Amino acid sequence: MLEESTKTREIAPLQSIRDGFPKIIIVRQGNYTTDIDGIRIIHAANFLLDANSLR
């Protein structure tokens, strides 16, 4: 998600879903805000190595 067009493409489908379930995007590279409109963004290493990354 290094480019703005990629970020928009990845986030738009999750923004259109109106339910109570958490939405998470796991990224391999780059530094991003941890939350965009309620959608959590987690780095892949943190997701794989930290048992509490989804809490």
pLDDT digits (tens, 9 = 90+) for 14-52: 999 999 999 999 999 888 888 888 999 999 999 999 999
DSSP element (H, E) containing 49: helix 44-49
State the number of CA atoms in the 13 A half-sphere of 45 facing the CB: 3
> Tell me, what's the pLDDT at 3?
83
Give 2-47 as a 3 state SS string: CCHHHHHHHHHHHHHCCCCCCEEEEECCCCCCCEECCEEEEEHHHH
Is position 26 within any domain?
yes
Of the pLDDT bands very low, low, confident and very high (cuts 50, 70, 90), residue 13 is: very high
Residue 1 has a pLDDT of: 63
Which residue range(s) make up the domain with 23? 4-49
Please say whether the beta carbons of 1 and 32 come within 8 A.
Answer: yes
Total tally of structural domains belonging to the chain = 1
